[in-house]
Structure 1
Amino acid sequence: MVLDRRAELGEFLRSRRARLRPEELGLPTYGQRRRVPGLRREELAQLAGVSVDYYIRLEQGRSLHFSAEVLDAVARALRLDAAERAHLHRLARPAPATAPEPAARPPLRSGIHRLLSSIHDVPAYLVDQNTTVVAWNRLAAALITDFGALTPAQRNMARLSFLDEGMRHLYADWPTRARDVVAFLRLDASRLPADPSTAALIKELSAASAEFRELWAEHQVKEKSHGRYLYRHPVVGDLELAYETLRLPDSPGLALVVHTADEGSPSHAALQLLAARAAGRRTPTS
């Protein structure tokens, strides 16, 4: 299974038209009953300043040779954010005539492992473009799950989010977390449309989870850069943690994710307690 760029492009554009309302954009409706939600193709073409036929050719994927100016005009009309705009440009450009075989990932440098091991007070882990956790520190395992007890294939945040009951209970707002994971995965999948491991993961989750299928059909994309989640940890209780994502310069498919708590907050105290327990240190409650 390889992602079909033309099909992805059309479905993405239709999903973005569907979320817009003509009255929000100053377009007349004249009280007409609309057969489809959101904007019609004709209305979108009008807003973008392109001919209807030209836009239809874009949405139907009849050509993947559209200028950056046209794509930017469509992106503005659809009110796309930066991640969505980049996604549109990627889908609307032809793939290389012969896509190279994905290279095997080289072993992680020992310095990466030492870096993670030296981070004691905050959870940190390294994740690839398929949301697979490839390295982690002790506190990340204490917060999320014991990655060391899982097989390499099971150490996948998308798979855990949808197929592991414990993960559903860990996130106070699991629906938002699930939607984010799917959006992260879809954005990275568009960057490597011929990667068989990504396609296999999507196929597996689509077959195993109706919730994943529903979210995947929404065509949401989101850059995993920073954010915040509320965790309901079985040992230390609630923790509201922010996360920051740092891409490895020489390995753009890998990213370091670090979670932190606001200094002096109850979440910070809970995180310190979790760190002490993870390190085997004595705590006031142990």
Structure 2
Amino acid sequence: MPGNNALGSFLKARRALVRPEDVGLRSSGRRRVAGLRRDELAALAGVSLAYLTRLEQGRDRNPSEQVLDALGAALRLDADLTAHLHALARDAPRRNGGRPRRPRERPAPGTRLLLDAWVDTPAYLRGRRFDVLAANATAIALAPMYRPGRNLVRDVFLDPGARALFPRWDTVAADSVAALRAVAGTDLDDPALRELVEELSAASEDFRRLWERHDVRPTRDETKEFAHPVVGPLVLRRHSLTVGGTDGQVVIAYQAEPGTPSAAALARLTAPARHTGQPPRLRGDLSGTAADSGEAASGDRASRTSAR
């Protein structure tokens, strides 16, 4: 995971994803590189080839906002990616090739009580590296990967149960990587994040391919589909709530549209948690772990860090 030339790595990765015909260029014959050539991007952005070369090689790290906007337009970046490009350029002069390890994340005060009060709503607390820091019984009943101590991105790519749980696994996988990049921002020298990315890159070709795209897309409120082994298909609305006073902690909660089959299925799923405070024991092997009725829903055991 390149840390000392993040701006250059981003520009090269995004250049490779733009087809010449998408930006009005005629593609003739066999091309030696995927996407745009460096000289083509330079011409489209109105900068010299020498200057773009210096940017990509990390020999010039102070582009103006006008240059960045021109590069973003030439690369057909959306608002999220353009903002990320500007952030990489602002941060580049301050990078020192390594940063101290952040302390282990702990749930923000009061969040466990809040989650447990939402008996009918699957909800969990996510840290900045996508570790699950706390969860209610209903969230664990929805998916064991929402159990405190798990890492969401690791489970999506390395846990076979995730592919069965998410009918649109390809979309979930791509969104997970893009959201991780969005949360990481320019802090790619965080040792624990670096270890997580290196682990997943070595273990999953899918993760490595998606990470190298440099997609950036923050988690947003949207619909998500589940193929639950106990209650069947679920279509739930995901809500993302930022926890104030924390370094990127987010509460993720799911709701079903009232009166729908998903609402009825969710009610069946929440019934055991409502009466016992514990998630139901799942039939079959989902995510490699059945819900453990002997463990408190909010994660009384210490959470693991994202890098093991």
The TM-score bracket by the shorter chain reads: 0.7 to 0.9
Count of residues in correspondence between the two structures: 274
Structure 2: segments with no counterpart, 5+ residues: 277-308
The answer (yes or no) to whether the contact 1:241–1:261 under 8 Å persists in 2 is: yes
The residue identity in structure 2 corresponding to 1:50 is V
**8 Å contact kept, 2:99–2:191:** no
Does residue 200 (structure 1) correspond to residue 195 (structure 2)? The answer is yes
What is the deviation of 1:50?
1.6
CA RMSD, 1 decimal: 2.3
What is the CA–CA distance in structure 2 between the aligned matches of 1:191 and 1:224, rounded to whole Å? 17
Asked if 1:262 is matched to 2:257, the reply is yes
Matched-pair contact (CA < 8 Å) for 1:48–1:77: yes
Superposed, 1:1-286 pairs within 5 Å as 3-6=2-5, 8-29=6-27, 31-93=28-90, 94-96=92-94, 101-105=100-104, 107-145=106-144, 152=149, 155-280=150-275
2: CA distance between counterparts of 1:269 and 1:120? Answer: 15
Q: Measure the CA separation in 1 of the matches of 2:17 and 2:203.
A: 27
Q: Deviations over 1:189-213 (max 9, x none)?
A: 3432221111111122122223222
TM superposition score normalised by structure 1: 0.86
Q: TM-score under structure 2 normalisation?
A: 0.81
Q: CA deviation at 1:3?
A: 4.2
Identity %: 44
Change in 2 beyond 3 A, CA 1:147/1:40: closer
Q: 1:4 to 1:191 in 2, by over 3 A?
A: closer
Q: How many Å apart are 1:235 and its aligned residue?
A: 0.7
SS of the residue corresponding to residue 217 of structure 1 reads helix
| Cα distance between partner residues in 1 of 2:3 and 2:49 | 24
| Shift in CA distance, 254/205, structure 1 to aligned 2, threshold 3 Å | same
CA displacement, residues 217-247 of structure 1 (integer Å, 9 cap, x when unaligned) = 2222221122222100011000011212122
For residues 113-163 of structure 1, the C-alpha deviation after alignment (integer angstroms, 9 at most, x for no partner) is: 221111122211111111100011111111011755x7x3xx100111122
State the one-letter code of the partner of 1:195. D
Q: Which has the higher contact order (CA 8 A, sep 6+)?
A: 2
Structure 1 unaligned segments of length 5 or more: list them: 282-286
C-alpha distance in 2 between matches for 1:112 and 1:161: 24
Q: Would the aligned equivalents of 1:68 and 1:89 in 2 still touch at CA under 8 Å?
A: yes
Q: Distance in 1 between matches of 2:141 and 2:112?
A: 17
| Pair 5,55 (structure 1): closer, same or farther in 2 beyond 3 Å | same
Pairwise CA distance, 1:166 = 1.7
